[in-house]
Amino acid sequence: MGITVNITGDAHETSARVLARASAGGTETVLVLPSNDEVLARRRDLAAAGSLLRFGVRVATLASWVADVWELYGDGRALVSAVERALHVRCALAEANVQMAATPGVVDALGRAFARGAGLPSFAAAVTGSLPEGCALTESEERVLAVARAYEARLAACGLVEQGAVLCALDQAEVAWPAAVVVEGATVLAPDEAAFYAQLAKHAQVTFCVEAPAGSRFDVARSVRKALEQAGVQPVVKVDAQEGEGADTRCAPELRELAAALYHPDATHPVAATGAVRAVLPAGRYARARLLAEALAGAGEAVVVCTDPALRFEELAPRLVPQGAVVEASYSRRFDETDFGGALLTVSELVAGGAEEPLDTFAAADLALGSVAGRGVRTAYALDRTWRRNRLVTCDSVLGQLCDGAPEVATALVEACKSGRFVEALDAAEAHYYAVRGCTQAFRAEQLAAVRCARRVFESAHAAGAGVDEALSVLAMQRVHVRVCASGQERDETCGTSAASPTRVRVMSFSEAARCAPGSVDVVVVADLNASDQPIRETRTSIDVLFEKLGCACERDPLFENRVRLLALVRAARRTVLLERALNNAEADPAYPAVMFEDVVDCYRTNPANARELDKVTSLAPALLPFALTAGEEMLEENLIPRAGTCAAAQESSNREAVTTGVPATPTSDFTRVGPAGAPYIALPRASEADGRALLSPSSIESYLECPHKWFSLRRLRLAEVDARFSAREQGTFAHAVLHTFGERYAADHGGHKPRVGDLANARPVFDDVFTSEAAHQFDKDSRDDPLIPLTERERRQMDDLRSALHSFLERDAALLPAFEPAHFEFTFGRETPVEYAGVRLHGSIDRFDVDAQGRAVVIDYKSSLSADYHLLPSQPATPFALPTKVQTLIYAQAVRRMLGLDVVGALYVHMLRPGSQPVVCGAYDDTVLGPHDLLDISPARNALSNTGFTMFGALLDAVEDLVGAELEHLLAGEIAPCPRTPRACDFCPVSVCEGRTRS
């Protein structure tokens, strides 16, 4: 009896030979494989081959074999599952009464630590309070051990046990062990597994079959040997030269040579590049699906290895299936990332929120868009807009809207979250996803897997005595395992596939693909070979530090594990290995290659010490450059929109052919200039059907003058945010309303006068009454009117600050324009009686204009902030007069002249909420009528009429109208190109990606 590590070229053949020899005497033998999938496949192979081994060999994973042995010879306790472990850890955190939050990350870390420490004597001693001599633990480490004690007590009470403890306990039990145990495919052993095999070697012959290519100098069995030696056993290492080339003979010569040279390249005899190893190098992520689909056309049996199989499946299936390929994927997603999982957890949060908590609109919108609510996209967006514009919307009201007319599963989930009984809801969800139409097979499979996952967790929670909150917390971090397949009926001969040689593409993770047998597939695509996707890190956590102190450290070598995976992937290919990586990251900066990529390239280099030998763009050795496929990001349509039944390569070829044969190419669309023919499509409002003139407001005209594209995005596309906030916009609207109401009330009670400096003592109580009344009215206003609704203590303090700021404004307003009295507040115009201006019709509302005894008027527009753009003139006035940046009050002033015949002598912007040293008044004024004493601290050099070259204020307004009219001709012609007049024009523009943007 003992342990042998057999290094061979074909582990399958070697294990079969060892098993046949061991079972010749009629005794039981066991073959241990890494996964259940491999167990089922090997059982099928033995049955199909008619081998006598199928009667005398047990094929199992280590976990399933140990579970069966424990069931026969154990003490009656059951092995704890991953779900049960997480539930009991979460409950133990509460029972241990330690200051440690039961977050998903903490629960997961503690669960892995307890599973790792089970069966290790030093960890068990530490849990009971016996620490190694000289070991000093921190307070947080003491908490971990306290939780471990509570966890073990819970397991004991529930009749559960960790696998590590079972492996240790079986050594003391009288077990009828098999005569031989063969372990195939193991490259890394945990300490408890190594200890188990070391003890097992006293009763049985244990043989590890580790695969390595012929001639390789890379020690694939290093980790296994080291783990066994640390467990106290010295294994016998054998290199099976007889079978060293067994599996490799099925592979291309270049691939055999590469596998042997990996990690020990010989610069004097580099691998000869023949095309068996190729590089697929898209410029960025948008081009990768198209380029990879072209590379896989007619590939036969292929495996795509990547970090996110679900995403790759969604990218490749629409391109390959129309060509006749079969695309499969095996992946796992976190429960809360699935459609059903997100819906269940969101509903539970909304139910917990009830009628008082403010709504998380993003979560509610995701729920409305999901399949559980069953709403169309238009309805979901309408609901989202309604919720986001109403700060008073509650979780209860949202749930009511979602359940109204929704499928039965939505109501069932709400009721389940309220009652804590989920069986009926999960039954309804399962029936819903079986019956739902219009979804892909992959989507259906993923949601049904999520429903089954939820069922397991709730059942385990009930058995463990855990509550609904604990179950939901554990459920959120569970992994949902999915297998999907997509296939088409027709095949496209032009893309290189045929009925005789269909393409079958399997998408899987690195760990799963590394278990593929040598020479088992035609093509292996090793994707995501960027350093950011495949980092090599030493992950030493606080749990690792604790285990080191206790003397049971488990060292992992990420670089070694990475190399073992790459070697297995190279050996799995019969014909071709494709190395895929994006040349640029999401910011379009050059991306660095991963270690895996560099390890392969090094085998083709003639001078590894010379960095200049590698191509700067692709990081490839010269020998590999002829076998590199590249694709740019500029072909947006081909990259993002798969053409059914047509290769993107064929499309690109036909496009090039059209250009070379003189066929006129389709002009590139310019979405910033619609031109005269497209002008009607920018949807300008019209004054009337008969008139046909555009109807614009002064603020809209000012927006177009700032930047045509900003005007188009805000006024026509309406891209501005719809969220109801407690921001400057809502505060400004509220302040306008308060000043309007107060001005009218005070003027009505005081003969049309506004408060003067000596009247402030009597005016303030009236103002406070108006402020309080208007604040209460905000809760009843329509959400489209931008109500100012304070929901937090901070916002309520801001309301007090706003009241103080408006009190200060009353003092400044009392001294402003002492010879003028307010004539109108919120003066609306242009809706019923047309007002012509610069070739268009005007409509709008003027905050206020004041008139003196001689009938002269000053237009006032309230602002919550002012900047240099609001001055009439720049710091260096131009000759001739140039259009000001802000023209709103100047347009208002011309409208007042035209409608009421008043002699306008000022068009001012007045600061309502002056913080610090910002100016109080800006704009244009006739300095022959008004002086600085009338306008507080206005700057005459930048606002007075005398500095413009005009002698009359009306002449200034006429000149501004002419200049505005010239600009509006471009608007009416459909010109909406980005053209910001000032750097500040881009500040509040929603178009963040714009060729004319002046600020990031």
Residue 724 confidence (pLDDT): 82
> Is the confidence at residue 69, as pLDDT, over 90?
yes
The total number of structural domains that make up the chain:
5
pLDDT of residue 276: 95
* pLDDT value for 1000: 44
Q: How far apart are CA 550 and CA 543, in angstroms?
A: 11
Per-residue confidence band for 25, with pLDDT thresholds at 50, 70 and 90: low
Query: Which pLDDT belongs to residue 244?
Result: 46
Instruction: Give domain status of residue 329, yes or no.
Output: no
Is residue 627 domain-shared with residue 564, that is, in the same domain? yes
What does the pLDDT average to over 868-884? 87
Tell which of 432, 457, 479 closes a domain: 479
β-pairing, 856-863 with 835-837?
A: unpaired
The kind and range of the H/E element at 282 are: strand 277-282
Q: Are residues 817 and 859 in the same domain?
A: yes
CB-CB contact of 596 with 589 (8 Å): no
What is the pLDDT at residue 919?
66
Last residue of a domain, one of 205, 224, 246: 246
- Lowest mean pLDDT segment, chosen from 135-139, 293-297, 723-727, 794-798: 723-727
Residue 868 and residue 758 in one domain: yes
Contact 478, 334 (CB under 8 A): yes
* Dist CA 207 CA 201 (whole Å): 9
- Does residue 652 belong to any structural domain of this protein? no
Rounded-to-10 torsion of CA 899, 902, 908, 911:
-80
**pLDDT value for 323:** 87
Closest CA relative to residue 863, chosen from 818, 913, 827 = 913
Is residue 60 over pLDDT 60? yes
- DSSP, collapsed to helix, strand or coil, labels residue 131 as coil
Please check whether residues 836 and 961 belong to one and the same domain: yes
Mean pLDDT (the chain) is: 87
3-state secondary structure 739-775: HHHHHHHHHHHCCCCCCCHHHHHHHHHHHHHHHHHHH
Domain that holds residue 183: 2-74+170-246
Name the band, by pLDDT with cuts 50, 70 and 90, for residue 752: confident
Return the higher-pLDDT residue of 538 and 300.
300
Q: How confident is the model at residue 676 (pLDDT cuts 50, 70, 90)?
A: low
Per-residue pLDDT at 679: 66
| pLDDT bucket at 277, cuts 50 / 70 / 90 | very high
Can you give the CATH number for the domain in which 521 is found?
Answer: 3.40.50.300
Interval 347-372 mean pLDDT = 82
Q: Is 120 inside a domain boundary?
A: yes
pLDDT tens digits along 379-388:
888 888 888 8
pLDDT band for position 865 (50/70/90)? confident
The residue type found at 830 is G
Three-state SS for 303-325 is EEECCCHHHHHHHHHHHHHHHCC
Mean pLDDT across 854-878? 90
Least confident of 195-204, 731-740, 773-782, 874-883: 874-883
pLDDT (0 to 100) of residue 974: 85
Asked if 163 and 177 sit in the same domain, the reply is: no
- Are 825 and 963 in a shared domain? yes
pLDDT reported for residue 19: 85
What pLDDT score does 536 carry?
86
pLDDT category of residue 509 using cuts at 50, 70 and 90 = very high
The pLDDT, as a whole number, for residue 231 is 85
R_g of the chain, CA atoms, integer Å: 38
Predicted confidence (pLDDT) at residue 756 exceeds the cutoff of 80: yes
Lowest mean pLDDT among 36-50, 158-172, 607-621, 827-841: 36-50
Question: What are 965-993's pLDDT values in tens digits?
Answer: 999 999 988 888 888 888 888 888 888 78
The DSSP bridge pattern shows strands 840-842 and 695-696 to be parallel
410-to-384, 426, 453 alpha-carbon distances in Å: 17, 11, 18
First and final C-alpha spacing in the chain: 71
Q: Is residue 625 part of a domain?
A: yes
Does residue 191 sit in the same domain as residue 154? no
Whether residues 178 and 65 fall in one domain:
yes
What is the average per-residue pLDDT within 793-800?
A: 93
Indicate whether 680 belongs to any domain: no
Cβ proximity of 213 and 259 under 8 Å:
yes
827 φ, ψ (degrees, to nearest 5) = -80, 110
Instruction: Check residue 555 and give its pLDDT.
Output: 75
Contact predicate 846/824, CB 8 Å = yes
Domain contains 685: no
Which helix (H) or strand (E) segment holds residue 718: the answer is none
> Which of the residue ranges 106-115, 525-534, 872-881 would you say has the lowest mean pLDDT?
872-881
Same domain, 752 and 620: no
Q: Is residue 681 part of a domain?
A: no
Q: DSSP letters along 65-93, please? A: HHHHHHHHHS-SPEEPPHHHHHHHHHHHH
Q: Residue 791: is it exposed, middle or buried by C-beta count within 10 angstroms (0-12/13-18/19+)? A: exposed
Which has the higher per-residue pLDDT, 721 or 373?
Answer: 373
Contact partners, residue 690, CB within 8 Å, separation at least 6? none
> How sure is the predictor about 526, in pLDDT bands with cuts at 50, 70 and 90?
very high
Same-domain pairing of 863 and 956: yes
691 within domain boundaries: no
Say whether both 210 and 342 belong to one domain: no
456, 479, 502 - which closes a domain: 479
The pLDDT of residue 649 is 43
Do you find a cis peptide bond into 880, omega within 30 degrees of 0?
yes
Is 163 in the same domain as 179?
A: no
Tens-place pLDDT, residues 833-862? 879 999 999 999 999 999 999 999 999 999
User: Can you give the three-state secondary structure of 814-875, one letter per residue?
Assistant: HHCCCCCEEEEEEEEECCCCCEEECCEEECEEEEEEEECCCCEEEEEEEECCCCHHHCCCCC
